[in-house]
Structure 1
Amino acid sequence: MDELARFNRDRWNRLVEAGVLYSRPKLDLDEAGAREMVDEAGLLGDVTGQRVLLLGGGGGQQSAAFGILGAQVTVLDLSDRQLEQDRLAADHYGYPITLHQGDMRDLSRFADDSFDLVWQPYSINFVPEVRPVFAEVARVLVRGGLYRVQWANPFTQTLNDGHYDPERGYSMNTPYEDGELDPMAIWGTDAWDVEQPDGSVRKVSGPREFRHTMSTFINTLIDCGFILRRILEHRTWEENPEPGSWEHYKRIAPPYLAVWSVRA
């Protein structure tokens, strides 16, 4: 691991210890709930027996869904604490799982054509460039295999979701470009708010994050041999969310995008 990977691993381990939402394993899923979690585009079909790689996907959430659906699940994540949640979920449901601690930019431990599906939750914004990741995914994914990857909406990523002005809305004043985010300049803090069981909020410093512009992301995906199938926005379905709330922010400025593609 390089310095960035070690830094983000340590930050994620602290977030897991604090109980961040993304580290809470899904222990109450049924088959319908599992499919809803991982097949928002309706493209998966039957995944029974398929070799699925969850890339940067620790936490015991998507791995639980694919395990319930009968896939052969492999998880690669920087954080050993996140991988512990995947083990917990697998033991809870009783499906086999393969866990690897490592960097998404280096999949050399896997042979060519090792997987039928690569499913990547929000994680690619923790590395500075998408090309090394996309190239490695193209190598380990079989031809015709699906690659689902989520990333921060580059048009809204630097909006300050915590400061809503009824007259001016959400503010943004940073250039639209690839590169590392400065959380202090954008949000005034590098801390994530982690809600505790008693309703209190614990502030924990988050990992380093990067913006990947639309042209960089999509063109690099195409350059690496992928054919686009779907692009989806992560938004709210509440019609009248409270102004200034997270759901209101999602209605104004969808924070995440998901791309489904096929390796040519």
Structure 2
Amino acid sequence: MIDYADANRKAWDHESEQGNIWTDGCTPKEIEAARKGDVHCILTPFKEVPPSWLGDLREKKILCLASGGGQQGVLLSAAGAQVTVFDISEKQIAQDKKIAELENLPLKTIQGDMRDLSRFPDEAFDLIYNPTSTCFIDDVISVYAQCNRILKTGGYLLTSAINPILYMFEEQAEKKGKLKIKYTIPYSDPKSLSRKQLEKHLQKYDTIEFSHTLESLLGGLCENGFSITGMYSDSSGCEILDSFVHDCFLAIKAKKNTQTTF
């Protein structure tokens, strides 16, 4: 049985070298704007996070969860937040370190698996910022529960997820401009692919992915002490998908409830 977390670590190290859109860092111009309070962050591929979701960032303690790549973490730091970037990929974290050093920004970085947040004490953060990454773990509910524990009461989790329906389609057909339903959902690379296909994934440094039910992605938040207070959708950037599915990515703002037992 493969260690999918280790496979994804290697995959993101590889992606960082290839200039993936989640790995290329932000520009000095973007950092200068953030220093003036004009912060342009994303949770999904294209749409920017509304300023109201971030609020006043000065001195706010933020965990950028699975958010390496020299993007969101350094921007939030430039805006005055106390930021910790936590990511499984050493090379993604190296991007944050590099830009933080160049721009003289205070930034703490930790390499680790998002499935285990035990190193962080209870109520350590005002905000958890988590761009699309729950597709790389098999148990999203456990992560929600841990996020609730380390958030201060009244704090927010900003997260995003891939619409599960996207995992129904055959990837090769998509590349040819066609949509062909092939898989049932919830989808899982280790279970939905043949052994040969999975081996090819690993050889090409493809990420190992999992879809989740909407019940888990949305209901799981409510069941673990959060109230969903905002949501927006985004496109995928794939013309054939976007012409049929208008909510490819879901960005979610969830508040930690004052009372977490019901």
Q: Give unmatched runs, 5+ long, in structure 2.
A: 43-47, 258-262
Contact 2:11 2:205 (C-alpha < 8 Å) held by counterparts: yes
In structure 1, which of residues 148, 164, 182 is the aligned counterpart of residue 177 of structure 2? 164
Tell me what 1:35 maps to: 39
Q: Does 1:121 align with 2:112?
A: no
Change (3 A) 1:18 1:261: same
In structure 1, which of residues 127, 131, 150 is the aligned counterpart of residue 160 of structure 2? 150
Q: TM-score, normalised by structure 1?
A: 0.81
In structure 1, which of residues 231, 235, 246 is the aligned counterpart of residue 238 of structure 2? 246
CA distance in 2 between partners of 1:71 and 1:128 (Å): 31
Change (3 A) 1:257 1:190: farther
CA distance in 2 between partners of 1:62 and 1:173 (Å): 35
The Cα offsets for residues 210-246 of structure 1, whole Å up to 9 and x where unpaired, read as 001111211211111000011211127xxxxxxxx72
Correspondence list, 1:102-121, <5 A: 102-121=112-131
Tell me what 2:250 maps to: 257
The Cα offsets for residues 11-68 of structure 1, whole Å up to 9 and x where unpaired, read as 2112212222211110230227962324624322111110000000000011122012
Aligned letter for 1:122?
T
Correspondence list, 1:106-255, <5 A: 106-159=116-169, 160=171, 161-165=174-178, 170-177=179-186, 179-180=188-189, 182=192, 204-235=204-235, 246-247=238-239, 249-253=241-245, 254-255=247-248
Deviates more, 1:62-71 or 1:10-19: 10-19
Larger fraction in helix: 2
Aligned letter for 1:80?
E
Aligned letter for 1:246?
C
Aligned letter for 1:250?
D
Q: Give unmatched runs, 5+ long, in structure 1.
A: 193-202, 237-244
RMSD: 2.7
Q: Percent identity?
A: 28
Deviates more, 1:149-158 or 1:118-127: 149-158
Per-residue deviation at 1:73?
Answer: 0.8
Per-residue deviation at 1:78?
Answer: 0.4
CA distance in 2 between partners of 1:44 and 1:3 (Å): 35
Tell me what 1:88 maps to: 98
CA distance in 2 between partners of 1:189 and 1:178 (Å): 17
Count of paired positions: 240
Tell me what 1:56 maps to: 66
Q: Does 1:70 align with 2:85?
A: no
Q: TM-score, normalised by structure 2?
A: 0.82
Tell me what 1:18 maps to: 18
